[in-house]
Structure 1
């Protein structure tokens, strides 16, 4: 199955990047990175986007298209997703942190600040990296969309069963299934909408999400499911010591809104919890304008010294090579 099976027209078709580069992680894993927007304007705020489990840079199409008008936008494929090759298993949250540090190091000048945005596993990436020097050097603010720090499988409501060991065991098996998702079909879209989106999601949004998710390699989906099942990042939340906003859908079955409320209560500098009534797990696609608005608000925390401009220009030139 194509690694790039996304929609090709409309608001959810990914725009062409101004520049592409490869970031190399601590263990040698190679990560596909895209830079969009005002890449030649060092004064433009920078936004770094980290997608979630089974997704890719295409997931951020609406945000990239809007923000690129007046921001530098960096998006990357998590290892094994999109155009980033799969690395040797087992995967771990430390790998997520390593990969984010590699992307920040490859795209930002020393000391340059950015808004870091994570959806689902991308949000967990922020929590995993919160103690890392590179994260603290570059993070001006963070946006966490549809994510949680622990107890993901136990609190998931994808299966309409009573909470308990049986539901947890079956949910673990379903999320970690080795069976390929296959081509996008009407039935497949119906299942995906039930599991990951609000009931009122429009067909074009369901289509966009289905194409992205179905393109994720089966082995990658399986290996990362084990990381999510054993997730324990509560301490990382407490170390997110920058202004952090949280967004969640009240109909999210994968990471129910209880996770967002817990994050908001724990974050040292929470600057807002937005609960989207009736929306599911795919908030950047389901509510693209609102997510983009929150990113723009957080960009107000980005302040970079003009003394970094020359370094920025040199770094961007190297990235395009």
Structure 2
């Protein structure tokens, strides 16, 4: 099987254009990767490199990120995330074709937002929720080193929704980013890679999505996620701490395991790429390839 790379463009329900990239053999099992807040398809570079050898890997830029254009002020909602995922699935998968869907941070929230949608139920064989949560993100966040309470919640909301530009990537900005989003032992080249991705996100887009995340409530979407679902969390995650992962595991109808990565922060696919890729491969082996075999036998 030959390895290929192509780009696809899709239109969401409100007309927003989405940039999609497809890697790997066309006939291989499909994996769809949805990135998080302030990131882009570049965030999944390690997973694409590994999985595209024997999977069809579909990645896309969330609206306003990467090469997916920004939208109007009313276009940043969890419903829009679900609309966009449905558009991506429709543009890249054949009718009835199953895939493993993996989402990091806001990408995981995308899966929760879309869990009851027809296209999600048509195409999802299994899911990965990676470094994410369904609600109480600001209240549980540990970016501000204070005891939990209203003061910490208020300061966290102010930091995440700050309108100040991030500016150029510098040694100081990389130290700040590592503190807020990565484990203390993260290799400098991985910090640098994340900084360049995050700093490339337009300020209005970053702020608009920050407001959405600050008011997030997708608990009902978790309970509708009726496919085998794995959860990955870093024990040093300040943005979506492990307490949120454990809450997801308790609420999911079919949780197939929680992987806790010791000393790893929020950027798990970049900080611990082998571990995250292994979970995705496991979902394909246990739930997608079986589905294909069962369908062929009918």
Residues in 1 aligned to 2:22 and 2:69: alpha-carbon distance in whole angstroms? 19
Matches within 5 A, 1:272-311: 272-300=257-285, 301-302=287-288, 303-304=291-292
- Partner secondary structure for residue 73 of structure 2: coil
For 1:103-122, list aligned pairs within 5 A. Answer: 103-122=88-107
Structure 2 unaligned blocks of 5 or more: none
The answer to whether 1:30 aligns with 2:17 is yes
Q: Equivalences for 1:120-199 in 2 at 5 Å?
A: 120-199=105-184
CA distance in 1, matches of 2:29, 2:229: 17
1:98 is displaced (CA, Å) by: 0.2
Q: Distance in 2 between matches of 1:105 and 1:307?
A: 20
SS at match of 2:227: coil
Aligned counterpart, 2:250: 265
Do the aligned partners of 2:4 and 2:25 also contact (CA within 8 Å) in 1?
Answer: no
Q: 1:116, 1:143 within 8 Å by CA — same for their partners in 2? A: yes
TM-score, with length taken from structure 1:
0.88
State the Cα RMSD in Å: 1.4
1:149-203 per-residue CA deviation (whole Å, 9 max, x = no partner) reads 0000011000112211111111111111111111100000000000000000000
Secondary structure of 1:261's counterpart equals helix
Aligned residues: 290
> Highest relative contact order (Cα 8 Å, sep 6+), 1 or 2?
1
Partners of 2:276 and 2:94 lie apart in 1 by 26
Question: What is the DSSP-based 3-state SS (H/G/I as helix, E as strand, rest coil) of the residue aligned with 1:226?
Answer: helix
Aligned pairs for 1:63-102 within 5 A: 63-90=47-74, 91-102=76-87
Determine if contact 1:17/1:34 at 8 Å carries over to the other structure.
no
1:223 aligns with 2:208: yes
Cα distance in structure 2, aligned partners of 1:255 and 1:89: 26
For structure 1, the 5+ residue unaligned runs are: 1-15, 309-321
Q: Distance in 1 between matches of 2:278 and 2:36?
A: 20
Name the CA distance, whole Å, in 1 between partners of 2:275 and 2:87.
29
